[in-house]
Amino acid sequence: MIQKSLVLIKPDGVQRALVGEIIKRFENAGLKITGMKMVWIDADFSKKHYSAHVGKSFYPPTEQYITSGPVIAMVLEGIEAVHTVRKIVGSTEPKNSPPGTIRGDFAHMSMAYADGKKITIKNLIHASGTIEEAKKEIELWFKKDEIHGYKTVHEVHVL
Ligand code: GDP
Ligand code: MG
């Protein structure tokens, strides 16, 4: 039941100074930050991270976007964390992401607009989509000794 998920605050989130606002939402839900760092990835690393999307029409602008500035990479831990994090983040297309979600509150771009302009969907966050994806992504982004085990008050009052 207790899972870890990989979350990235993408370059638009960092450059729009939304890092604190975004992290607050995960902390408020009781998710535990067990790893965190700022990284500026290159094209090779992007191809590893987005290995499932390399070759798709939206991959080139997606690579350009994720390599355009540093990201904040985090490992978040909690009950069914993969699903919980995606719920807080919202859906891929900000236009259809409800208010209250990160993508719905801080963006409104549509797929049609992004595809028409041949840009990627700027949606502030990456979050692992499945448990398998989370495992693979955490191994790609974090060394074992960069992930920390500790107790939070939530483990006393929420879990
Ligand atoms: P996510 O798991 O919600 O981030 O979505 P995906 O894994 O399907 O796609 C990865 C990223 O590629 C998304 O977050 C978007 O930035 C971008 N993207 C995905 N699908 C499309 C699309 O159909 N058009 C465009 N322009 N960008 C897309
Ligand atoms: Mg995905």
CA-closest candidate to residue 3, choices 65, 87, 83, 100: 83
What's residue 156's pLDDT?
A: 83
In a domain? residue 116: yes
In a domain? residue 70: yes
Q: Could you tell me the two tokens for 127?
A: 């979050």
145, with CB counted inside 10 A (0-12, 13-18, 19+), is: exposed
Question: Among all residues, which ones are annotated catalytic?
Answer: 126
Nearest CA to ligand 1 atom 4: 126
Q: How far is it, in rounded angstroms, from Cα 106 to Cα 99?
A: 9
Tell how far CA 140 is from the center of its chain: 14
In a domain? residue 38: yes
State pTM to two decimals. 0.96
Q: How far is it, in rounded angstroms, from Cα 140 to Cα 109?
A: 29
Q: Which atom of ligand 1 is nearest to the CA of 111?
A: 24
CB-based contact 12:124 (threshold 8 Å): yes
Amino acid at 39: V
Query: What does each of the 159 residues of the chain score in pLDDT, given as a tens digit?
Result: 999 999 999 999 999 999 999 999 999 999 999 999 999 999 999 999 999 999 999 999 999 999 999 999 999 999 999 999 999 999 999 999 999 999 999 999 999 999 999 999 999 999 999 999 999 999 999 999 999 999 988 778 876
What's residue 153's pLDDT?
A: 84
Q: Across-strand partners of 6?
A: 75
Domain that holds residue 66: 2-147
The CATH number for 118's domain is 3.30.70.141
Angle value at C-alpha 137, between 134 and 141, nearest 5 degrees: 135
Q: How far is it, in rounded angstroms, from Cα 102 to Cα 63?
A: 21
What's residue 133's pLDDT?
A: 98
* Ligand 1 pocket test, candidate residues 83, 119, 120, most atoms within 8 A of CB: 120
For the Cβ of 126 lying below 6 angstroms from any atom of ligand 1, the answer is yes
CB-based contact 159:36 (threshold 8 Å): no
In a domain? residue 108: yes
